[in-house]
Structure 1
Amino acid sequence: MPQTTTTTPRSNAREILRLAVPAFGALIAEPLFLLADSAIVGHLGVDQLAGVGLASTILHTAVGLMVFLAYSTTPAVARAIGDGKLGKALAAGRDGVWLALLLGLALAVAGFVAAEPLVGFMGATGDVQQFAVDYLRWSMPGLAAMLLIFAGTGVLRGLQDTRTPLVVATAGFAVNIALNVFFVYGLNMSVAGSAIGTSIAQWAMAAVYLVMVGRNARHHGVSLKPDWHGVRAMTKVGSWLMLRTLSLRLAILATVLVVTAQGAVNLAAHQLAMTIFSFLAFALDALAIAAQALIGKELGARNAERVRELTRTMIRWGLGFGVITGVLLAIAAPWAGYLFTSDAGVRSALTVALWVLAVGQPLAGYVFVLDGVLIGAGDARYLAIAGVVNLVVYLPLLVVIHQTKPDGEAGLLWLWASFALGYMLARGVTLGLRARTDRWMVLGSH
């Protein structure tokens, strides 16, 4: 029978904050890694910064496709916890970790071999191309670690623990900065040093998660050996989430293809703007992570009314948080460029992009929260189909910008208006329509 509990807005707020506040710190670790890399590399020159931006787009396209390792593990573990099945929860987490390791090793080898043709496909030439290849190849040793971090974080989120990932992420960020400065400037290794330092920091973080997941499993009598049926089931569930993520990454890749044709200045400014967007997106995604953990748990406990209350609360919070971050970004936009580059042209173009991004922040807050709610509910098939629809809406906007070829900063202005407003609006409509129904609310553990 469905469970019912008496809740108040204050208790909802406490539950959301208990998970969202630590999740915020953990989520921004990856964009903080990129911000640190951009700040360190940016002072080497425009070509180095543009090369790292291009390589980062390719790297995080591959990594982003694997985010299902966290997004499928969290609700699976949370549902089992809500249904009182701890052993099943830990087994799902273990299988997710094994899948992450296997995928990470395969992608690392493929990425090292294909680095040069991938960068060439993106349209880079000369020094920008060489710097991009160097950064991409030296990032490959850390790729498996990045996927293990996804899986390990997903397990802990499902167990309603977002504080431990915060501690791990904070330590990893500090180590990353120290190593990057040492390799880039101390050993004069340029962009390769930045990639090596980040890879080492990521493996240190992954080791912590491996120890924690293994210790939990052994303590509760769960074997560390993979259940290949469970691994295959995780892959099947994740395939829809991968398609959903693929649509998001294709949108970002298509955007980079358009901005690459606008020249190195706009490409460098776009890389910085996209890094800041990622930072803010992960910050907003803290609410989405809370949604994934809480919605999964309450659906597992068959508490439909609680799910509805949490969804309404988090939508309000997402919109409010988007307004706050938008105002702060608009104020900071004219000065943000000084943190990353000494090139006046890049700073000026970045300011324009950030003002557009600031306007779209409330919409982004709404989108990220509803995305988290539906992921937590395991509504992966709808998310995948909606992602394809959103991409179909967005690509014609990019085609128009590419064909009309607006000059200088105007090109970046229209590009970011299409992405931060047009594309995000399409996502908001498709997610909002789904959330208004009850078809995504499947009760109990699977």
Structure 2
Amino acid sequence: MSQTVAPAAPSATARRIAALALPALVVLAAEPLYVLVDTAVVGHLGRVPLAALAVGGTVLTLTAWLGTVVAYGTTGRSARRFGAGDRAAAVAEGVQASWLALSVGVLVALAIQVGGSWLARTLVGGPGEVADAAATWLRIAALGAPGLLLAAAGNGWLRGIQDTRRPLLFVLGPNLLSALLCPLLVYPAGLGLAGSAVANAVAQTISGGLFAAALVRERVPLRPRPRLIGQQLALSRDLLIRGVAFQASFLSATAVAARFGAAAVGAHQIAVQLWFFTALVLDALAIAAQSLIGAALGAGEAAAARALARRIALLGGLCGVAFALLIAAGAGLVPSWFSSDPQVREQAMVAWPWFVALQPIGGVVFALDGVLIGAGDVRYLRNLTIVAALGGFLPAIWLAYGLDLGLGGIWAGLTLFVVLRLVALLLRLRSGGWAVVGAVR
């Protein structure tokens, strides 16, 4: 039964951060870890299936980013209401976010059924084996989009009320099941690349159903409330625009990599999925920041929020350094886990030094993203992302294509994108203008 409680004001201690970040770490790692398993399984089917997964997986990542928009917006609003002592209102934010997520998920699934072939051909640069295989994978995997977005909304409101146990169970279980199904469907069942898509859709659907059941068990009103959904949409607008800037950049990167050949785009798939994996793992600190910063500001504790922001930024940098050391040590081994093709492995090593260098910078950036999202300072994040994408990442990507710089040019553009964000986020943190108190910003 939902009830109103007055939580204690959050403190900026390492133990408190870890209590939220570690379960979030498992949740965040589950999906990209499954994608890495998927990439390894499909990679041994050959160059064409791996390239098709690269294209199809990039499109599906766009749906995951839509889920991130829903989750992050919901976490901030729920956490502020929870910090102000109104748990019922915090859960109500989750109900409306779930209606929004389900609607968008159904639309995404229908759109990909209709336009999947066109989208695959556009990204690959024309018809062919890779485009056909990517379209088939996309149509099947897209059936899991409603569940994927429902799970994102569920993660959002549960993090807002600082419940980290249920998201852990609801995400980890289905993804473990899917990781077992994927090789079975691809090889013994003989479905090939399509088996990968089926396993993906199964995991997303089960996970979304578990989060929806959690809302029902809260025994709160479940009817849609258009006014509240409208408020969430207004908040999500800036996060959505920010997400579009991200996705335009990464879709462009995949499109350019595809024009360098199947080996290059296959290597890019390996490197970019490892990047997404490490980024989401480092984002565990950002999740803790969203929940704790939102609750602190909702409770009127601006000083505690500022202290927490500084500590999380430092922890993000330290975690990034640790990742960089691990990734550098695995340079000669890790790419071979995902492909037996020597040309793919050779191309992966072109991106590897950039991948290593990005870790410490990204650790701080992701942590501060979480701080500002938890504070509701999403307009600043929107403007920053647009400027960094249009002024750094996208020009660098297409310059790499024009000058035939290969994957090194693409990953240099990604590094520029992250460095620009780091500088601007540190300036914003120092200003303190983001720390506005109140139940809803």
How would you bin the TM-score normalised by the shorter chain?
over 0.9
User: 2:28: which partner in 1?
Assistant: 27
Mapped pair 1:403 → 2:397 = no
Summarize the alignment of residues 34-433 of structure 1 with structure 2, pairs less than 5 Å apart.
34-122=35-123, 123=125, 125-216=127-218, 218=219, 222-394=220-392, 395-406=394-405, 411-419=406-414, 421-433=415-427
Are 1:65 and 1:249, in contact at CA under 8 Å, matched by a contact in 2?
Answer: no
For 2:202 and 2:65, locate their aligned partners in 1 and report how far apart those are by CA, in whole Å.
Answer: 20
Task: Quote the sequence identity (%).
Answer: 37
For 1:202 and 1:53, locate their aligned partners in 2 and report how far apart those are by CA, in whole Å.
Answer: 19
Aligned residues: 432
User: 2:429: which partner in 1?
Assistant: 435
Q: Secondary structure of the equivalent of 2:260?
A: coil
For 1:225 and 1:168, locate their aligned partners in 2 and report how far apart those are by CA, in whole Å.
Answer: 23
Are 2:67 and 2:153, in contact at CA under 8 Å, matched by a contact in 1?
Answer: no
**Alpha-carbon deviation of 1:147?**
0.2
Q: Which runs of 4+ in 1 moved over 6 A?
A: 3-6
Q: Secondary structure of the equivalent of 1:253?
A: helix
Structure 1: tracts of 5 or more residues without a match: none
Flag the 1:124–1:146 CA change in 2: closer, same or farther, 3 A: farther
For 1:205 and 1:256, locate their aligned partners in 2 and report how far apart those are by CA, in whole Å.
Answer: 28
**What letter matches 1:335 in structure 2?**
L
Flag the 1:6–1:322 CA change in 2: closer, same or farther, 3 A: closer
Are 1:4 and 1:306, in contact at CA under 8 Å, matched by a contact in 2?
Answer: no
**Alpha-carbon deviation of 1:4?**
11
- Superimposed CA distance per residue, residues 312-351 of structure 1 (whole angstroms, 9 cap, x where no aligned partner): 1001101100000001001112111121111011112212
For 1:315 and 1:61, locate their aligned partners in 2 and report how far apart those are by CA, in whole Å.
Answer: 27
Q: What TM-score comes out, normalization by structure 2 length? A: 0.95
For 1:247 and 1:5, locate their aligned partners in 2 and report how far apart those are by CA, in whole Å.
Answer: 35
Flag the 1:172–1:354 CA change in 2: closer, same or farther, 3 A: farther
Are 1:23 and 1:163, in contact at CA under 8 Å, matched by a contact in 2?
Answer: no
Flag the 1:5–1:26 CA change in 2: closer, same or farther, 3 A: closer
**Alpha-carbon deviation of 1:417?**
2.1
**What letter matches 1:45 in structure 2?**
G
Are 1:179 and 1:198, in contact at CA under 8 Å, matched by a contact in 2?
Answer: no
For 1:6 and 1:215, locate their aligned partners in 2 and report how far apart those are by CA, in whole Å.
Answer: 27
Q: What TM-score comes out, normalization by structure 1 length? A: 0.94
**Alpha-carbon deviation of 1:6?**
10
Are 1:115 and 1:133, in contact at CA under 8 Å, matched by a contact in 2?
Answer: yes
Are 2:313 and 2:364, in contact at CA under 8 Å, matched by a contact in 1?
Answer: yes
Summarize the alignment of residues 4-15 of structure 1 with structure 2, pairs less than 5 Å apart.
12-15=13-16
- Superimposed CA distance per residue, residues 397-425 of structure 1 (whole angstroms, 9 cap, x where no aligned partner): 1232111113xxxx212221221x21110
For 1:29 and 1:124, locate their aligned partners in 2 and report how far apart those are by CA, in whole Å.
Answer: 34
Flag the 1:83–1:5 CA change in 2: closer, same or farther, 3 A: closer
**Alpha-carbon deviation of 1:212?**
1.0
> What is the Cα-based RMSD across aligned positions, in Å?
1.6
For 1:6 and 1:91, locate their aligned partners in 2 and report how far apart those are by CA, in whole Å.
Answer: 22
Are 2:182 and 2:196, in contact at CA under 8 Å, matched by a contact in 1?
Answer: yes
Q: Secondary structure of the equivalent of 1:72?
A: helix
- Superimposed CA distance per residue, residues 113-172 of structure 1 (whole angstroms, 9 cap, x where no aligned partner): 100111111125421111101110001110111000100011110011223222222212
For 1:196 and 1:87, locate their aligned partners in 2 and report how far apart those are by CA, in whole Å.
Answer: 37
Are 2:297 and 2:305, in contact at CA under 8 Å, matched by a contact in 1?
Answer: yes
For 1:257 and 1:201, locate their aligned partners in 2 and report how far apart those are by CA, in whole Å.
Answer: 28
**What letter matches 1:25 in structure 2?**
V
After superposing the two structures, state which structure 1 stretch, 140-149 or 203-212, moved more: 203-212
- Superimposed CA distance per residue, residues 214-270 of structure 1 (whole angstroms, 9 cap, x where no aligned partner): 212x1xxx2111211111111111111100111111111121122111111010000
For 1:369 and 1:5, locate their aligned partners in 2 and report how far apart those are by CA, in whole Å.
Answer: 21
Structure 2: tracts of 5 or more residues without a match: 1-6
**Alpha-carbon deviation of 1:431?**
1.7
For 1:387 and 1:6, locate their aligned partners in 2 and report how far apart those are by CA, in whole Å.
Answer: 29
Are 1:336 and 1:351, in contact at CA under 8 Å, matched by a contact in 2?
Answer: no
For 1:26 and 1:185, locate their aligned partners in 2 and report how far apart those are by CA, in whole Å.
Answer: 28
For 1:214 and 1:437, locate their aligned partners in 2 and report how far apart those are by CA, in whole Å.
Answer: 42
**Alpha-carbon deviation of 1:360?**
1.4
For 2:10 and 2:381, locate their aligned partners in 1 and report how far apart those are by CA, in whole Å.
Answer: 31
Are 1:66 and 1:242, in contact at CA under 8 Å, matched by a contact in 2?
Answer: no
